[in-house]
Structure 1
Amino acid sequence: MTHFKQIFNVFPLALMLAFVVVGCSSVSVTDVFDMASTAQQLEKGFEDISAEEEYYIGRSVAAMIAGQYAVYDNAAANAYVNTLGQTLAAASDRPQTYGGYHFQILDSEEINAFAAPGGFIFITRGMLKCAKHEGALAAVLAHEIGHVQKKHGLQAIQKSRITSALTELALKGVQYKAGEASFILSSSLAVFEGSINDIVTTMVTNGYSRAFEKEADQTAATILQRVGYDPNSLVEMLQVMETLLKPGGKDFAKTHPAPESRIAELEKTIGAYHQVEASAVTQKRFDAAMKNI
């Protein structure tokens, strides 16, 4: 948990956002900007977000998540989740991100998990309690890694952000001269603040589209097979959650498609469900790490 806090506390949120804006806008105080070139720069920033920029966006999103939920102060459990998560991430099609993958348990009874851009992944104590063995926990983490691999968080940014930003610039009708880059920075900063809110709202309140969830499930199945876990572990987790989730609740049920439909889609790829048999070795370390959750 200490390492996770250090990530968030290096810079205030506004400074992190400013870093992203400067990176995306490439603003130079020595150049003269006309409206067309400024618009092109701003639009390109959304179309071609670098790995470094994604990291700072994701870090800002993660900071907001950590502000809404209390992080779980259990070093052994967090270390176990991180070790398992890093192993799974290394087997994905995106084994490395700019700032690396980070996994954190949230001290909440909600049944949920979140993945911020760049590799910041959260899982609640409520979700951990649904897992009966290591493969089941691996399935949840692999699903969230799938969202990072496919960059679903960045795709949650509303396209209208670009339009509104360009409209604002056009209405101002400003010819930017040397030393007058502050308006570009402040306008772009507002757009990125809104973009981060878009991502958090999608993750916590609205959820991803059915297509995105299907992609994350299929990616999870592939990752599990590569590491040596039975992909039916994901089906098993969905079956457990189906019995525990409450319609209309503030948890997985609100932000994800019905487990039944996800299971049906998964079985098209991995075949009919069969019960997962956990090994004695993995079960022993799983029980040891999860005993106080």
Structure 2
Amino acid sequence: MMKSDRREFLNLSGKYILGAGLAPLFSALISGCKTMEAVTKIGTSIAVSQGVIDESQADSINKSASAVARSFQDITPEQEYYIGRTVAATITAKYRPYNKPQANMFLNVLGKALAQASELPETFGSYHFLILNSDEINAFAAPGGLIFVTRGMLRCCKHEDAAAAVLAHEIGHVQLKHGLQAIKKSRITSALTTLAIEGTKSFGQKELAQLTETFEDSISDITSTLVNNGYSRSFELEADMAAVKILKNVGYDPNGLVDMLNVMKKRLKPGRLDFAKTHPPPAVRIAALRKHIGRYTKVKTAGPRQPRFMAVFRNI
């Protein structure tokens, strides 16, 4: 969903909740999220009964309003999915998908197998993996299990264990809910404060615009972190440690992550919007991994893994 679509939904929900004479009820929002859900549903039900919106639109408004009102700890798996879908739409607006069904199918089979061995084997909308048609060396994990890997990143993977390590790292971010934690707590505080102050009087366009902007910015917090700023060093190292555990559970060699990082270290170019900007230096991650998995040993590529990997990704 693009920013204009989000704005339309939020303005629509506000218009028919407030237009129905329900503005005073917003003062109760300060008491918790359940009240916001109830008020939103009242407003959208009225709009549906008047033929202004249909059931599908009402459902989307309810889900959006419910999700953005919560801190990341309180967000349900269903709400996390809808937030993640919005983030994913923003990412795919910036990066075109790679239109090679065989390669994307391989990535999904591999990724879903890894996810089953994680501490979050299922999400509301299931895990989905997509290759992005970009030479940037990068990967993104939207809340709810929507994971993207660029062609540039896959070129850093010389064997299947390395590709598995990239996906396991991103699954680690989903498992640890790092994306949701990117939402600034001040966003929610600001929204609730505005609602409490304005709830006893007429809600104007200015106040509604402020709320709409706050909710949009919650999504922007996540996408900006993923694409522009990157997670904190501690979050990245946490995801690496989660990846090691996942890889071991499935039978992949964690040294595959070291191999990928060594290739990345040679290919990253300072100043570009890729892992060089959004992640700790590969050398830092490699040092932390060695403390965790011990001395490096060469990844064994004998057996069926290497031929099937090369058959799909040789010309990526």
Is TM more than 0.5 here? yes
* Partner residue, 1:73: 99
Among 187, 194, 198, the alignment partner of 1:168 is 194
The amino acid across from 2:30 in the alignment is A
Q: Conserved in 2, the CA contact under 8 Å of 1:16 and 1:60?
A: no
* Contact 2:7-2:212 within 8 A present in 1 as well: no
Maintained 8 Å contact 2:91/2:223: yes
Normalising to structure 1: TM-score of the pair?
0.85
- For the residue of structure 1 that corresponds to 2:304, the secondary structure is helix
Contact 2:131/2:150 (CA < 8 Å) preserved in 1? Answer: yes
Counterpart in the other structure of 1:25: none
| Residue 203 of structure 2 is aligned to residue 211 of structure 1 | no
Of 13, 23, 38, the match for 2:29: 38
Q: How does 1:128-139 map to 2 (within 5 A)?
A: 128-139=154-165
For residues 213-232 of structure 1, the aligned pairs below 5 Å read 213-232=236-255
Structure 1: 5+ residue runs without aligned partners?
1-7, 23-27
Q: CA deviation at 1:173?
A: 2.9
Alignment partner of 1:141 is 2:167:
yes
For residues 87-116 of structure 1, give each alpha carbon's deviation from its aligned partner in whole angstroms, at most 9, with x where no partner exists: 001110000000000100000000000000
Contact 1:16/1:56 (8 A) holds in 2: no
Aligned to 2:127: 101
Structure possessing the higher relative contact order (Cα contacts under 8 Å, 6 or more residues apart):
1
For 1:235 and 1:61, locate their aligned partners in 2 and report how far apart those are by CA, in whole Å.
29
Could you tell me how far apart the structure 2 residues matched to 1:285 and 1:253 are?
Answer: 30
How many pairs align?
276
1:83 aligns with 2:83: no
CA contact (8 A) 1:13 1:60 kept: no
Report the CA distance shift for 1:88/1:34 in structure 2 as closer, same or farther (over 3 A).
closer
Further displaced range: 160-169 or 94-103: 160-169
Check the 8 A contact 2:70/2:188 in 1, yes or no.
Answer: no
Q: Which moved more, 1:264-273 or 1:79-88?
A: 264-273
Q: Percent identity?
A: 54
- Which of 1 and 2 has greater Rg? 2
Alpha-carbon RMSD: 3.0
Alpha carbons 2:131, 2:151 under 8 Å: kept: yes
Q: Kindly report structure 1 stretches of 4+ aligned residues shifted beyond 4 Å.
A: 15-18, 28-32, 182-189
Cα separation, partners in 2 of 1:72 and 1:145, compared to 1, 3 Å: same
Tell me the TM-score normalized by structure 2. Answer: 0.79
The C-alpha deviation readout for 1:253-289, integer Å capped at 9, x for no partner, is 1000011111111111110111111133000110111
Aligned to 2:47: none
